[in-house]
Amino acid sequence: MEQTIKLEQKEGLAVLTLNQPEEFNAFGADMIELMVKYLTEISTDPKICGVIIAGTGKAFCTGGNLRLLSGCGKSYRHAFHTLVGLFHQAMIEIRRMPKPVVAAINGLAAGGGFSLALACDFRVMEKTAILKQAYTSNGLSIDGGGSFTLPRLVGSARALEIAVFDKPISAEQALAWGLVTEVAEPGRALERARAMIKTIEKMPLTSFIASKKLILDSFNTSIESQLERERELLVWCAESANGREGIQAFLEKRKPVFNK
């Protein structure tokens, strides 16, 4: 029996592929537990410099498997409380990941799949793919950090519009609204995501880590605290091998070589 998520590690890149195509990659507890396991291992693996999350078949991910939830023999309160708790743990691992995480959106990303894509640092979306908030159309509310990331990407008014009216969002619209980083031709999202990681790989990883942390934390701190954190991380970067290389290369008027 195939695993619900396939992990491929090659040339410093980890690709997590959701592997339930017959369910449009809707997830149950087993899939999310495996995702948390993989993300935790990748986070501390010095051989891995970037992560891609992709989907098998026609969909990227359609969120929690409501068929499984309704037939699990437990109350909705228990079933949703358990699954969402696991899902949120995965979202935290992505947000804390000290390496770039790119979503390769090959098809429909709806519900929890929508929130999963938004949790990633960057998103490559194929022209034929669709984003759909989906929760409110099923009488539910947003989870997976979607209520946190969505207004920060598109603003509170647009976020509420997406939540209330739940219209399908095309790749062209998603790019215009800032929901995705790049639009790819059909069948090329994974290829473009790999290229994005390879580009970032040439940049100083220490600077990426500091920038990601500063930007994510900036919404929850005062300007005074943020300024002090900026100073701390700038000193950390300057003292790192990448920082020393970058400064020396600037002084010597040559191209720096990072992540040695």
Please report, for the chain, how many H helices and E strands are present, in that order: 11, 10
Element (H, E) at 168: none
State the amino acid at position 112 in one-letter form. Answer: G
The pLDDT, as a whole number, for residue 74 is 66
Query: In whole numbers, what is the pLDDT of the chain averaged over residues?
Result: 93
Chain length of the chain: 260
CB 20 within 8 A of CB 26: yes
Selection from 204, 182, 184, 199 nearest residue 257 by Cα: 204
Is 60 exceeded by the pLDDT of residue 219? yes
Is 60 exceeded by the pLDDT of residue 1? no
Is 80 exceeded by the pLDDT of residue 122? yes
The pLDDT, as a whole number, for residue 135 is 92
- Average the pLDDT over 128-133 and give the result: 97
Question: pTM for the complete prediction?
Answer: 0.92
Selection from 167, 183, 191 nearest residue 127 by Cα: 183
* Helix residue ranges per DSSP H, 54-188: 66-70, 76-96, 112-119, 146-154, 156-165, 171-177
Is 80 exceeded by the pLDDT of residue 126? yes
Per residue in 56-97, pLDDT tens? Answer: 999 999 998 877 666 555 677 888 888 899 999 999 999 999
Pairing relation of β-strands 182-184 and 59-61? unpaired
Is 90 exceeded by the pLDDT of residue 153? yes
CATH of 5-201, one of 3.30.470.30, 3.90.226.10, 3.40.718.10, 3.30.230.20: 3.90.226.10
The pLDDT, as a whole number, for residue 163 is 95
Is 70 exceeded by the pLDDT of residue 259? yes
